[in-house]
């Protein structure tokens, strides 16, 4: 009886495969499985942050195109992650040891998502390296080229924070500033804390393969 049922099952499977030969193609099955994996990953990347997430405020500001407020929130997030307070500054050790790849990735992902890959830390790192900078040492001329391309400089002078372009029309990589004190009276090199600090942050981004 069992052999009879098993034989009928084999016959049934052969009929199905004959009617739908594409199902027997292992390559197609592999492609379908691969695409399913890609879709799941895409859904993870683009799904909104939960309301209780530390990144939900940043996401809401970016979704509303409130670019300056989002930049300020990014700075606050970095302060929180490095366990620092406004006015106390951030040091290189805090960036290296206290910010995880997941945390820096979340910030970068949201900026890239809502700017359609125009803004973000990883975008800045690409431009930083393309303009001849490296993550080991500071080169004044290359750093100025970097500032020119991001729109942080004009007529060979660094802009003040209040002069930056907080809109979707800003140059690629213009935002976020991320490292600064909220003082619109100073120019970018001064409120960057130090150029070494920005290099350390960019090194972290590259280390995390963003």
**C-beta of residue 176 within 8 angstroms of C-beta of residue 119:** yes
Q: What is the pLDDT of residue 99?
A: 93
Q: What is the pLDDT of residue 61?
A: 98
For residues 97 and 119, what is the distance between their CA atoms, to the nearest angstrom? 25
Instruction: Sort 86 into a burial class: Cβ within 10 Å, 0-12 / 13-18 / 19+.
Output: exposed
Q: What is the pLDDT along the chain (210 residues), one digit of tens a residue?
A: 544 444 455 555 555 555 555 444 444 434 333 443 333 333 334 566 666 789 999 999 999 999 999 999 999 999 899 887 766 667 788 889 999 999 999 999 999 999 999 999 999 999 999 999 999 988 989 999 999 999 999 999 888 888 999 999 999 999 999 887 545 556 665 555 467 888 999 999 999 999
What's the distance, CA 72 to chain centroid? Answer: 16
Q: What is the pLDDT of residue 24?
A: 45
Helix (H, G, I), strand (E, B) or coil at 160: strand
Q: What is the pLDDT of residue 3?
A: 45
Peptide bond into 145 cis (omega under 30): no
Neighbours of 147 (CB within 10 A): 19
Q: What is the pLDDT of residue 43?
A: 34
Q: Which pTM was predicted?
A: 0.73
Strand partners, 160: 187
For residue 157, give the H/E element and its range: strand 157-158
The secondary structure of residue 115, as a DSSP letter, is H
Q: Can you give the length of the chain in residues?
A: 210
Could you give phi then psi for residue 102, rounded to 5 degrees? Answer: -65, -40
Could you give phi then psi for residue 153, rounded to 5 degrees? Answer: -125, 155
Give the dihedral sign, CA 59/63/64/65: positive
């Amino acid at each position: 009886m069992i052999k009879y049922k098993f034989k009928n099952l084999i016959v049934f499977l052969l009929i199905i495969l004959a009617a739908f030969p594409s199902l027997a193609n292992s390559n197609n099955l592999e492609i379908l499985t691969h695409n399913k994996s890609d879709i799941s990953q895409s859904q993870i990347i683009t799904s909104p942050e939960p309301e209780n997430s530390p990144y939900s405020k940043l996401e809401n500001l970016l979704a509303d195109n409130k670019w300056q407020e989002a930049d300020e929130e990014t700075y606050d997030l970095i302060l929180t992650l490095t366990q620092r307070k406004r006015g106390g500054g951030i040091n290189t050790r805090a960036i290296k040891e206290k910010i995880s790849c997941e945390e820096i990735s979340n910030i970068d992902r949201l900026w890239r998502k809502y700017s359609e890959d125009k803004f973000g830390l990883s975008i800045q790192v690409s431009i930083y390296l393309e303009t001849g900078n490296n993550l080991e040492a500071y080169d004044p001329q290359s750093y100025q080229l970097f500032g020119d391309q991001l729109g942080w400089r004009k007529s060979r002078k660094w802009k003040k924070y209040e002069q930056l372009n907080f809109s979707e029309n800003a140059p690629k990589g213009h935002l976020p500033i991320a490292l600064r004190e909220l003082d619109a009276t100073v120019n970018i090199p001064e409120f960057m804390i130090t150029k070494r600090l920005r290099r350390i942050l960019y090194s972290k981004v590259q280390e995390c393969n963003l």
